[in-house]
Amino acid sequence: MFKYYTFTPVKTEKTTIDFRQKTEDVEVFRFDGNVVSVSGEESDIDALVEEQSAKINLTEITQADFAELVKNSPQIENIRRQVRDEIAKKYLIADEIKLMKLPADDTDRVAYEDYVAQCRANGDAKKQECGYL
């Protein structure tokens, strides 16, 4: 299961109080904008949340709010870039345009569309791993 949070780091004279991962029972994915998604058993996530400093104003948010906050984050953009790069390893842009002009049942076009779908599915799997989808 995933839970999603925003927080505000607090700088003190000697340190910065931040969201802390204190256990290996949960996996924490950090995103720009002081947003985290936390994956694990609900009781383990709740225990981790209870251990956080009240000073950081930790607030649980919905998955939809989380997705909106991180949709243009470097982490999600990196996954999108990986998908584009994987497609580009096999097909040049000019080839993609040419293939899209072929009939929908053309074997080359079908092979291209299948490859693109596979690359996108790999990207979606990475997004699911961090709770984005």
Query: Distances from the Cα of 131 to the Cαs of 70, 75, 113, in angstroms?
Result: 11, 12, 26
Residue 22: pLDDT above 80?
Answer: no
pLDDT digits (tens, 9 = 90+) for 39-61: 999 999 999 999 999 999 999 99
Domain count along the chain: 2
Q: How far is CA 101 from the centre of its chain?
A: 33
**What pLDDT is recorded for position 37?**
97
Regarding whether 62 and 90 lie in a shared domain, the answer is no
Regarding whether 58 and 80 lie in a shared domain, the answer is no
Regarding whether 52 and 95 lie in a shared domain, the answer is no
Please, which pLDDT band fits residue 11 given cuts at 50, 70 and 90? very high
Neighbours of 36 (CB within 10 A): 20
Regarding whether 12 and 61 lie in a shared domain, the answer is yes
Q: What is the mean pLDDT of residues 22-27?
A: 86
pLDDT digits (tens, 9 = 90+) for 74-121: 999 999 999 999 999 999 999 999 999 999 999 999 999 999 999 999
Regarding whether 118 and 79 lie in a shared domain, the answer is yes
Query: Tokens at residue 102, please?
Result: 């072929």
Q: Which domain holds residue 56?
A: 2-70
Half-sphere exposure at residue 109, Cβ-oriented, CA atoms within 13 angstroms = 10
- Choosing from 30, 49, 70, the residue where a domain stops is 70
**What pLDDT is recorded for position 73?**
96
